[in-house]
Amino acid sequence: MKSQGRYGEVAAELHTDFPERFAERSHLYGLAPRGERRELELQRFWPHKGRIILKFRGVDSISLAEELVGWEVQIPAEQRAELALGQVYVSDLLGCELIADGRELGKIVDVEFGAGSAPLLVVRELPQAGKAERKAGAPQVKEYLLPFAEEFVVEVDTAAKRVRLKLPEGLLDLDAPVGVAKRPARKKQA
């Protein structure tokens, strides 16, 4: 969220397919970037330039609205709308083990929107500590950004906390360092 207006309104990105459900709810929760949670009472809401403007009771100034910058609006799991077959809530993906092409890559730690038509799964891998990592200290953490597109999804089992993808060949190697053998040959200039 970010502050919007003079009377404590905030503008939020919509990550819901059910914006009309704001009319049915007055009690929401805010989650701060550092994990603090706070109950928020929704007074009014309206769409504005691809976002939703939210006015919460007790947040009546720009300075109070600025305290909510970066927060995420949430609802309790038991109040979520039932999804159609093949749909999943972002919160259910977090913490799932991601397996791509039979290889365990790590855990889904975030989902990013806006980079294209499909959201990107942020997968964090902690490699096995081998000789090189022990010499250097703590193991290096590798992150993958993988498209969560229907054509790549093999299985989503949120109860078992597992997601399986079949990715296009070479996608996992896109951010790998280019080795000597992979460098294209240079043309000699005359």
Residue-level pLDDT, tens digit, the chain, 190 residues: 777 878 999 998 887 777 788 888 888 999 898 889 999 999 999 988 888 899 999 999 999 999 999 998 888 888 888 888 888 988 899 999 999 988 899 999 999 887 778 889 999 986 655 545 555 566 567 888 999 999 999 999 999 999 999 999 888 877 554 444 444 444 444 4
In a domain, 71, yes or no: yes
Residue 180 within any structural domain of the chain: no
* Residue 187 domain-assigned (yes or no): no
Question: Residue 115's domain spans which residues?
Answer: 90-171
- Do 44 and 94 belong to one domain? no
Into how many domains does the chain fold? 2
Runs of H (alpha helix) within the chain:
62-66, 90-93, 131-136
Within a domain: residue 95? yes
CA angle 78, 15, 105 (to 5 degrees): 90
Is residue 155 in a domain? Answer: yes
Length of the chain: 190
CATH number of 132's domain: 2.30.30.240
Could you tell me if 57 and 98 lie in one domain?
A: no
Claim to verify: residue 69 and residue 104 sit in the same structural domain:
no
| 106 and 162 share one domain | yes
CA 89 – CA 152 distance, rounded (Å):
17
In a domain, 73, yes or no: yes
Give the CATH number of the domain where residue 19 resides.
2.40.30.60
